[in-house]
Structure 1
Amino acid sequence: MLGAALAAALSAASGPAAAEALRAGVFDPPRPAPPFALRGSDGETLDLARYRGKLVVLAFGFTSCPDVCPTTLGVLASARKKLGARAADVQVVYVTVDPERDDAARMRGYLAAFDPTFVGGTGDPDALAAVREQYGIVAAKVAQAGGDGISHSSYTYLIDRAGRLRALVPYGRTADDYAHDLDILLRE
């Protein structure tokens, strides 16, 4: 659902101020982030309404990812540090694409290595597939040395305090890029 509209929304961003201000791809106009309810790595129900009033950085990945996921989480942890005290108004949410291996306890330990405030989301395969579909995330098992891995979409979403999709950040952006965009959204 969101995947098809995603490319159109990002390419149709016509507001020059918004396009120049944020370094990430902008949703213009912003639209409500699709809702979901998963098991949180903190033992609570994970849904976006829980973080209304904060910015949410929504990422998808898995705990045994060898490269993209730990790189992204490290960058997000660094970006939060750059924000100083304002980082308290930014919540990183990391939804697994590997429900067979990633239970809440495993995600909690994995995410704590990057930043103890990060919250993971897991659930049954159907629930997670529905969330991925809502956000246009593709994930597929692939054979790798040492066992199966998962190839998946590697962008992140920036969701504003009102629960609206504001930006899509491609893999490879720096902590400075994230801090820049989060700073702009925090000042709104």
Structure 2
Amino acid sequence: MKHVFFAALLLCAAAVQAAPALKSGTFSPARVAPEIAQKAADGSDFRLSALRGKVVVLEFGFTHCPAVCPASLAMLAQARQKLGPHADRLQVVFISVDPERDTPARLKSYLAQFDKSFIGLTGTPEQMAAIRKDYGITATKFAAPAGQSGYQMGHSSYLYFIDKKGMLRALMPFGRPADEMVHDVNVLAAE
């Protein structure tokens, strides 16, 4: 009887090791990612559900961001490079929290500096607020620092991972390295 118990214990341990854990925080249980239907910055009709079969990473940000958004987009571009021949497993979607300034042309040009495959979404303030609400993203307009004109935006800085079946699976905070992104994309792509 002891041998059966130990054999079962070893099988369970092997099963746990066979499925690598995500580096990002996970949604447990996973849930269907809220649909996004919006014009993309290139003028095409975008539907999140049309990306089934790929791992999708959503980033919320704005083109006038001085530090966080460009650093995050650079990390995502680096992750795509590190994926090499498997880069097509990952689709990055950048969603504007500043639609008043992020015109489609500006957003398309901005994202092309990082990776031409990145999809940008902008729209009316009401459309973008509805998407932020669906994903629990906050965005606040505040005055620019002294000596600068205009305004800045404060916003949540998470990357949302959506698996190949359209399930919201993980959330990565700002500042994580590209290797962790590559790890999580590979885990989700292998499922």
Fold shared per TM-score above 0.5: yes
TM superposition shift of 1:18: 11
Query: How many residues are paired up?
Result: 173
> 2:140, 2:153 within 8 Å by CA — same for their partners in 1?
yes
> 1:31, 1:166 within 8 Å by CA — same for their partners in 2?
yes
Does 1:180 find its partner at 2:183?
Answer: yes
> 2:89, 2:185 within 8 Å by CA — same for their partners in 1?
no
Q: What do residues 33-92 of structure 1 show as CA deviations (whole Å, max 9, x unaligned)?
A: 001211201211222012111110001000010000000000000011111111112110
Residue 159 of structure 2: aligned partner: 156
> 1:19, 1:25 within 8 Å by CA — same for their partners in 2?
no
Does 1:165 find its partner at 2:168?
Answer: yes
Alpha-carbon distance in structure 1 between the residues aligned to 2:82 and 2:189: 13
Does 1:86 find its partner at 2:86?
Answer: yes
Structure 2 gap ranges (5+): 1-15
Q: What do residues 11-30 of structure 1 show as CA deviations (whole Å, max 9, x unaligned)?
A: xxxxx779961010011221
CA change 1:18–1:139 in 2 (3 A) is farther
Segments ≥4 residues shifted beyond 4 Å: 16-20
Alpha-carbon distance in structure 2 between the residues aligned to 1:37 and 1:103: 17
CA change 1:185–1:25 in 2 (3 A) is same
Identity %: 52
Alpha-carbon distance in structure 2 between the residues aligned to 1:167 and 1:17: 19
1:39-188 residue pairs with structure 2 within 5 A? 39-145=39-145, 146=148, 147-188=150-191
Q: What do residues 142-176 of structure 1 show as CA deviations (whole Å, max 9, x unaligned)?
A: 11232200000000100011111010010111101
CA change 1:54–1:78 in 2 (3 A) is same
Q: What do residues 102-123 of structure 1 show as CA deviations (whole Å, max 9, x unaligned)?
A: 0111111000000000000011
TM-score by length of 2: 0.87
Please give the root-mean-square deviation of Cα atoms over the aligned residues, in Å: 1.6
> 1:19, 1:26 within 8 Å by CA — same for their partners in 2?
no
